[in-house]
Amino acid sequence: MKKSQTSIFAAAALAIALTAHAGDDRAKAVALMQRDFHAKGIAHMDRLNEDALQLVCNRSHNNPPKPVAERLQQDQLEAIKYPADGKFLGDWKSGEKIAQTGSGMTWSDKAGQANGGSCYNCHQIGPNETSFGTIGNSLRQFGKTRGNSPQMQKYVYGKIYNAKAFSLCSNMPRFGHSGTLTEQQIKDLVALLLDPNSPVNK
Amino acid sequence: MDQTRRNALKAGGGASLYALLAAAGVLRPDTALAADWNQKAFEAKNLKDAFDALGAGSRIDSADIVMTAPEIAENGAVVPVGAVSKIPGTESIAILIAKNPTSLAANFDIPSGTEPAVSTRVKLAETSDVYVLVKAQGKYYVTKKEIKVTIGGCGG
Amino acid sequence: MSSIKLRAVVALSGLALVCAAQAQQKETAAPKKAAAQTKKAANAAKDPVAADFEKFHEIMEEASPAELFEAKGEELWKAKRGPKDASLEQCDLGLGPGVLKGAYVRMPRYFADAGQMMDAERRIVYCMVTLQGFKAEDLAKQPFSSESRTPDPVSLVTYVAGQSRGMKIAIPQKHPKEREAYNIGREIFNYRAGPWDFSCASCHGEDGKRIRTQNLPNLTSKKDAIRAFQGWPGYRMTGGLMHTLQWRMNDCFRQQRFPEPGYASETIADLLTYMAVNANGHVYKGPGIKR
Amino acid sequence: MSDPMRIRAVAKDGAVNVKILMSHEMETGQRKDAAGKPIPAHFIQQVSATWQGKVVLSAHWGTAIAKNPFLEFNFKGGKKGEKIQVSWTDNKGEKRTDEATIN
């Protein structure tokens, strides 16, 4: 099963790679970066290597053919690790702090430190934070309008864990997949969005 | 400034000696004023103490003071503030920031011949009311405006 | 003071607002009023906030602290310095030795003597090495401004940039290497990688977006591209430091969660070529002020 | 040693507009370094501008003036070609005077 997925993916990726017109410049760009960059702090050189998903998004200008996108989204979805205890709602107050915090994973951050979710950088969320970005959609009253069902909780958990499972070349980082946020942190963010007591839903 | 003279002024008990020297023509009044940095006012930890230390215990709200400042500061570290006084006989213009660790930011003496208008840039520790205090013919006039301090771009 | 200590000083600054440290208690304060404000802010999409920022930005740029660094740069440009005890007055910035007027708005460009694409800072470093005998490795050690130190190339770039104030940006694309640099730069701009899957385009590829309250120019569009050029080198209000485009690229890659690009490297020159060519035709206003 | 000020003085309609930029840290004394040690305050306390021997502005500053301070004012009487002097003194007793010609 695993193997066949990989080969389907490889074939698709190859097809895109072959049809891409800027391949030569891209190859030169990658070679140049490999030469000119250096590891610093926790940011090692392997970060310059595309993973499979990045490769497909890069070569398709973030617009992969539908069958490829669906296939790869399925892979991403299947790789999401949901909480073993089956609970998705953490503490919305902690969630708000995580949403506010923008540090983590840069070369100036330390290994092992608690990372932030940078959520406000891109989304409107709570009512009291007027300094929010607009790269992502507004999440105001997210739970109020969408409900708090177990399915919704699982969806939100999954979306934060790996946004690419739902939209392959989304701008949103894969916070769980990349090891940026812990299970508990993601639960807290789910609570921020869905807990009826969270100011987001007031 | 001449440090010796300043010390002499302090040692000599301030106002009386100053008046004496000024009367004798040793000091020009405006230069002497410049030497007198009001420590008590500048170190005051809240607005009331700062006003009191400036001698502005009672103040008149005035529409004749025009403050130019942003509603929302792009960055609290550099906030442009301009103040113009249309009050006749304006002698000094001060800028105070309510929520800063020390409230008094600046005090400008306006000699005759200089327009009662100054611009500078201040730091705001957080969203705060900013006051412009004008002294004219022995009375104090004031206006205020809230300036918001925001969080900008960047992830950390 | 050690550099580590300095970094911490910057991070601890009470007045320089650092994102990570912010406003975690805000949730409790005056919810009703704030909610109304949020709504208002969200509704007025092309918001007065941005207009207000711009207005005061312009007022401040009329007398920008960047001028202090321009003056410093001029002094450094003309002074005999380095192991060769020479000034930079014979440095060729692309228009002939010693020609400063208009040089900044025509870089990056291909320099045949070096056989390389060079942006202004890369070229100035090259001149400091070839004319004055400084070592490139030394200049690359601490190339960005800190509280205790403004590196010489930063002041020099600011001076050189000031000499193109009011001139039209005209980055050349005649030489094949210049056209190639543009194409490679575009690929670097769009290259997604790293733990957060970011490229430059993740933040700078769409119109009308912001991060927190900061507007994000769409650097792939002709209309916005000028904003990658305008105001640089810039006096950054946070920390009150003078920064060049070399710093801007470096810190963008940091926040992109990438490893660190080499200072004054070809990668940066190519990336800057892509962005600068897109800004061609606009009038450059000289060193500016940044948030 | 401190860097020179940038002084622009422009005569227009009988008044001189003066814009000054000073190179100074304006350290508040409120900040701490990595070791938790307070960074001592270091800021300009007094600024005065003179023209023809007459003080045309004198300012007293606290720690809230932004780093690399800016000051703008207008005075009457100055003419093109005349000089103005600007001096500052900080809380450590350092001082600096620069001169500019009115344009």
Domains and CATH numbers, chain D: 6-101 (2.60.40.10)
The verdict on D4 touching C (C-beta cutoff 8 Å) is yes
Instruction: pLDDT band for C80, please (50, 70, 90 cuts).
Output: very high
Q: How many beta-carbon pairs below 8 A join chains A and C?
A: 172
Residues in chain D where the model's pLDDT stays below 50:
none
- In order of their start, the domains of chain A are 2-78 (no CATH), 92-201 (1.10.760.10)
The interface predicted TM-score (ipTM) is 0.84
The CB-side HSE value for A143 (13 A sphere, CA atoms) comes to 25
Any domain includes C179: yes
pLDDT for B34 beyond 70? no
The verdict on C22 touching B (C-beta cutoff 8 Å) is yes
pLDDT for C21 beyond 90? no
| Cα–Cα distance measured from residue A120 to residue B155, given in angstroms and rounded to the nearest whole number | 10
H-helix or E-strand containing B144?
Answer: strand B139-149
Task: Please give the pLDDT value at position A201.
Answer: 97
Which of D19, D33, D67 is the closest to C5 by Cβ?
Answer: D33
| Cα–Cα distance measured from residue B65 to residue C84, given in angstroms and rounded to the nearest whole number | 59
Task: Please give the pLDDT value at position B36.
Answer: 83
Neighbours of chain A (3+ CB pairs under 8 A): B, C
Task: Please give the pLDDT value at position A16.
Answer: 56
List of residues 6+ apart from A20 with CB closer than 8 A = A26, A59, A60
pLDDT for B6 beyond 60? no
Task: Please give the pLDDT value at position B35.
Answer: 55
CB atoms C19 and B75 under 8 Å: no
Q: Which of D25, D59, D89, D41 is nearest to B43 (CA)?
A: D41
Do chains A and C touch, with touching meaning 3 or more CB–CB pairs less than 8 Å apart? yes
The verdict on B155 touching A (C-beta cutoff 8 Å) is yes
Which of B100, B106, B110 is the closest to D60 by Cβ?
Answer: B106
The verdict on C55 touching B (C-beta cutoff 8 Å) is yes
Q: Could you tell me the fold of the domain covering B45-151?
A: Immunoglobulin-like (2.60.40)
Which chain B residues contact residue A121 at CB under 8 A? 153, 155
Task: Please give the pLDDT value at position A11.
Answer: 52
Q: Burial, B65: exposed, middle or buried (Cβ in 10 Å; 0-12, 13-18, 19+)? A: buried
Any domain includes C48: no
The verdict on D48 touching B (C-beta cutoff 8 Å) is yes
Distance to chain B for D30, nearest Cα, Å: 8
Q: What is the CATH number of the domain that holds C148?
A: 1.10.760.10
| Cα–Cα distance measured from residue D37 to residue D31, given in angstroms and rounded to the nearest whole number | 8
Which chain A residues contact residue C199 at CB under 8 A? 58
- CATH 2.60.40.2470 occupies which residues in chain B? 45-151
The verdict on B71 touching A (C-beta cutoff 8 Å) is no
Q: Which of D3, D4, D1, D2 is nearest to D98 (CA)?
A: D4
Task: Please give the pLDDT value at position D2.
Answer: 86
Mean pLDDT of C183-207: 97
Do chains D and C touch, with touching meaning 3 or more CB–CB pairs less than 8 Å apart? yes
| Cα–Cα distance measured from residue B33 to residue B121, given in angstroms and rounded to the nearest whole number | 23
| Cα–Cα distance measured from residue D40 to residue D27, given in angstroms and rounded to the nearest whole number | 7
Ordered alpha helix ranges (H), chain C: 3-12, 31-43, 48-61, 66-78, 120-130, 136-141, 152-162, 176-190, 200-204, 222-225, 245-255, 266-278
Which chain C residues contact residue A202 at CB under 8 A? 31, 35
pLDDT for C47 beyond 90? no
> Terminal CA-to-CA distance of chain B, rounded, Å?
43
Task: Please give the pLDDT value at position B13.
Answer: 39
Q: Could you tell me what percent of chain C has a pLDDT over 90? A: 75
Which of B80, B124, B155 is the closest to C60 by Cβ?
Answer: B80
pLDDT for C25 beyond 90? no
Instruction: pLDDT band for B114, please (50, 70, 90 cuts).
Output: very high
Any domain includes C157: yes
Any domain includes C4: no
Nearest CA in chain D to C238: D67
Catalytic residue annotation of C: 252
Task: Please give the pLDDT value at position C58.
Answer: 87
| Cα–Cα distance measured from residue A172 to residue A134, given in angstroms and rounded to the nearest whole number | 12
CB atoms A28 and C184 under 8 Å: yes
Neighbours of chain D (3+ CB pairs under 8 A): B, C
The verdict on B5 touching D (C-beta cutoff 8 Å) is no
Which chain B residues contact residue C237 at CB under 8 A? 74-75, 77-78
Give backbone dihedrals phi and psi of A113, rounded to 5 degrees, phi first.
Answer: -75, 155
Any domain includes C275: yes
CB atoms B111 and D48 under 8 Å: no
Question: Mean pLDDT in each 10-residue stretch from start to end of chain A (202 residues)?
Answer: 52 53 85 98 97 95 95 96 97 98 96 95 95 95 96 98 98 97 98 97 94
CB atoms C192 and A58 under 8 Å: yes
Chain A contacts in chain C segment 245-284 (CB below 8 A): 253-255, 257-262, 265-268, 270
Question: What sign has the CA pseudo-torsion C16, C21, C22, C23?
Answer: negative
Over the stretch C114-143, which tens digit does the pLDDT of each residue have? Answer: 999 999 999 999 999 999 999 999 999 999
Domain that holds residue C109: 66-290
| Total number of domains constituting chain C | 1
Cβ distance A173 to A186 under 8 Å?
A: no
Which of A102, A130, A131 is the closest to B155 by Cβ?
Answer: A102
Residues paired with residue C158 on neighbouring β-strands, in sequence order: none
CB atoms C195 and A178 under 8 Å: yes
Task: Please give the pLDDT value at position B151.
Answer: 60
| Cα–Cα distance measured from residue C36 to residue C30, given in angstroms and rounded to the nearest whole number | 10
Any domain includes C18: no
Which chain D residues contact residue C8 at CB under 8 A? 33-34
Helix, strand or coil, per DSSP, at residue D49? strand
Pairing outcome for strands C116-118 and C109-111: antiparallel
| Cα–Cα distance measured from residue A194 to residue A80, given in angstroms and rounded to the nearest whole number | 20
